[in-house]
């Protein structure tokens, strides 16, 4: 990530954002017939949406990161995120625990406090995935973010995917000012 983004990158995958009225958990759907095994592998964070003040201040400096999703025990997923910050590559990992609904996971990161959720709302597994993350209790209760992952840094259907994500973000209550499409910088996210 670009220099000075510090804590933002925790957001690149899973920090959650303030101020948005979110639907009750029971009202949020996940990808029908979600196939976890097809969701595994490498993804790139291509789009983010948030109306948090700090996000609005930093969104012009944000750049793409790489996430790798692998299977863990008992239906959980390991999520490893790599990004560029200052002059180095930063990597961190989370364990996404299943909730009993395919495509719906919980996670905890002591640095953030509270409990968080990730819900895969839509994916074709081969090109893109759109999901939301949010905090369900603790100091960040009610924080919310929408994300677009792509399998490629330069997706073939880039314009169509961007518009699909923009519509998705609008359906979650975000405005155009709340949405950013991230540029690639190559550092840390290209395979060696």
Q: Residues with catalytic annotation?
A: 65
The closest of 165, 127, 163 to 145, measured between CA atoms, is: 165
DSSP H or E run through 168: helix 158-171
Calpha distance 86→133 (Å, rounded): 26
Calpha distance 178→41 (Å, rounded): 28
For 146-184, letters b (16+ CB in 10 Å) and e give bbbbbbebebeeeeebbebbbebbeebebeeebbbbbee
Spatial contact of 135 and 53, defined as CB atoms under 8 Å apart: no
């Amino acid at each position: 990530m670009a220099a000075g983004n510090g804590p933002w990158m925790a957001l690149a995958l899973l920090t959650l954002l303030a101020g948005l009225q979110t639907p009750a958990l029971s009202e949020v759907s996940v990808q029908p017939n979600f196939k976890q095994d097809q969701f595994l592998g490498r993804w790139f964070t291509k789009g983010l949406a948030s109306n948090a003040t700090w996000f609005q201040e930093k969104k012009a400096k944000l750049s793409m990161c790489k996430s790798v999703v692998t299977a863990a025990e008992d239906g959980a997923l390991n999520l490893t995120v790599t990004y560029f910050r200052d002059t180095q590559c930063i990597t961190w990992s989370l364990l996404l625990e299943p909730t009993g609904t395919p495509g719906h996971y919980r996670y905890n990161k002591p640095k953030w406090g509270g409990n968080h959720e990730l819900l895969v709302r839509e994916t074709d597994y081969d090109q893109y995935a759109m999901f939301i993350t949010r905090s369900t209790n603790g100091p960040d209760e009610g924080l919310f973010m929408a994300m677009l992952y792509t399998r490629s840094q330069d997706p073939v259907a880039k314009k169509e995917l961007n518009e699909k994500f923009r519509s998705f973000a609008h359906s979650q209550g975000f405005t155009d000012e709340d949405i950013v499409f991230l540029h690639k910088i190559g550092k840390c996210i290209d395979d060696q």
